[in-house]
Amino acid sequence: MEEPRREESAYDVALRQYDAVAEKLDIDPGIREMLRHPEFALEVAFPVKMDDGSVKVFKGYRVVHNTARGPGKGGIRYHPDVTFEEVKALSMWMTWKCAVVGIPYGGAKGGVTCNPLEMSKGEKERLTRRFTVEISNVIGPYTDIPGPDMFTDAQVMAWIMDTYSTQKGKFVPGVVTGKPIPLGGSLGRTPATARGLVICIREAAKELGLPLDSLRIAVQGYGNVGAHLASILEGYGCKIVGVTDIGGGCFCDAGLDPCALTAQLLETGSIDGTPGTDCLTNDELFELDCDVLVPAAVGNQITKANAGKIKAKIIAEGANGPTTPEADEILADRGVMVIPDILANAGGVTVSYFEWVQNLMNFYWTEEEIAERLERIMTESFQAVLSTAKEKGTRLREAAYNLAILRVAEAMKLRGVC
């Protein structure tokens, strides 16, 4: 009998993407092999008292992929689908992301398998504080610095900072980024990922000769990334024609109004059913007649099943790992420009880095200073990836990996192995 084919995990995909580029590079074979593995991977199980008095056990993970260029950096995700393999993949992508934009961090990631949408604020706080205690020997301002990710926000970061600082007996704001402003958060952190994406979309549109103010945009996910992106692009004159979230989706050929979507989200928990819009499914979103498609929700959304039907000329990966390698091939053959996640969504970690620097200095910058620095880093990084792609005749993803892997391998070589 034929053996059932094991479904490919996010980590398998991350390794395939890495191997495809690394094996063509002139780097030491030992360094190349080391970069296939996380330096450190922690899996914990911990109890949380729920509001009804019962005790529920949760599984959580913290993985540090590489620290050759600096401390580990990466968000903590709360989602029912979080797995160890996914967190390992995300930690590896963080290593490449920090390297491609040249910020002095390695890669890390964390997650707890849970459904925060079904938990009260008190339950989320108890879960966060207990998880922080479980990983407190790993995280630290000079070792591994968490930040927000899917379904974690500034409040969750504040609880992590408070729990860690209480344990250490001193205020340690630099242990985590994405904090509320009064606790050492940075101005401009909340919309940073969306701002970085917009800079990449602007540069890509320029390269393809498409005027920014006439772009038609489709967005999957209307959370931190998707909602900020929609309102910034709408401000530039773009038409947001379709948006989906976990509860459904909306379409309007003349352009959706981000304020109306946000009002519906605040009232009902989803953008679905926003007045004056038509219903839209995820499948329909990916096939919309648009110039730019932005997956800004979960991984594995663009696959060989839908890649051939995508009409967008540019895909800007807001989410991490939204495109499978097979879909990448199909899109490349069809001439779609894919701005890879490790570049496209690096605005968030870049401003997280600014937040950490401000925490360590205890000296804070204006929003204009933050925006200016972000603009410079994202534009230069996009242009560096684009010229590497042109020079080597590769796609943007391979070019971004090429630059990132060489930077990490160089740091490892310079540090030496003993």
Q: Which residues are catalytic?
A: 109
- C-alpha–C-alpha distance, residues 119 and 136, integer Å: 23
Q: Is residue 186 part of the contact set for ligand NAD (CB under 6 A)?
A: no
In terms of Cα–Cα distance, which of 336, 340, 320, 309 is closest to 402?
A: 340
In the complex, the smallest distance separating the C-beta of residue 85 from ligand NAD, rounded to whole angstroms, is: 15
Q: Is residue 272 part of the contact set for ligand NAD (CB under 6 A)?
A: no
Q: Which is nearer to ligand NAD, 31 or 157 (CB)?
A: 157
Q: Is residue 177 part of the contact set for ligand NAD (CB under 6 A)?
A: no
Stretch that binds ligand NAD, among 16-24, 134-142, 148-156, 395-403 (CB under 6 A): 148-156
Q: Is residue 113 part of the contact set for ligand NAD (CB under 6 A)?
A: no
Q: 242 with 318: CB under 8 angstroms?
A: no
Stretch that binds ligand NAD, among 38-46, 143-151, 367-375, 401-409 (CB under 6 A): 143-151
Q: Is residue 345 part of the contact set for ligand NAD (CB under 6 A)?
A: yes
Q: 398 with 325: CB under 8 angstroms?
A: no
Which amino acid makes up residue 117? L
In the complex, the smallest distance separating the C-beta of residue 107 from ligand NAD, rounded to whole angstroms, is: 12
> If 0-12 CB within 10 Å is exposed, 13-18 middle and 19+ buried, where does residue 303 land?
middle
- C-alpha–C-alpha distance, residues 197 and 374, integer Å: 11
Stretch that binds ligand NAD, among 126-134, 286-294, 312-320, 390-398 (CB under 6 A): 312-320
Q: Is residue 348 part of the contact set for ligand NAD (CB under 6 A)?
A: yes
Q: Which is nearer to ligand NAD, 175 or 285 (CB)?
A: 285
CA angle, residues 276, 240, 293, in degrees to nearest 5:
135
Of 125, 162, 245, 398, the one binding ligand NAD (CB under 6 A) is 245
Of 95, 244, 274, 402, the one binding ligand NAD (CB under 6 A) is 244
Q: Is residue 223 part of the contact set for ligand NAD (CB under 6 A)?
A: yes
Q: Is residue 17 part of the contact set for ligand NAD (CB under 6 A)?
A: no
Q: 229 with 266: CB under 8 angstroms?
A: no
Q: State the DSSP string of 152-221.
A: --HHHHHHHHHHHHHHHTS--GGG-SS--GGGTPPTT-TTHHHHHHHHHHHHHHHHHT--GGG-EEEEE-
Torsion of CA 158, 148, 350, 269, to 10 degrees: -110
Q: Is residue 388 part of the contact set for ligand NAD (CB under 6 A)?
A: no
- C-alpha–C-alpha distance, residues 281 and 239, integer Å: 19
Site of interaction with ligand NAD (CB under 6 A): 148-151, 193, 220-226, 244-246, 282, 296-298, 318-320, 345, 348
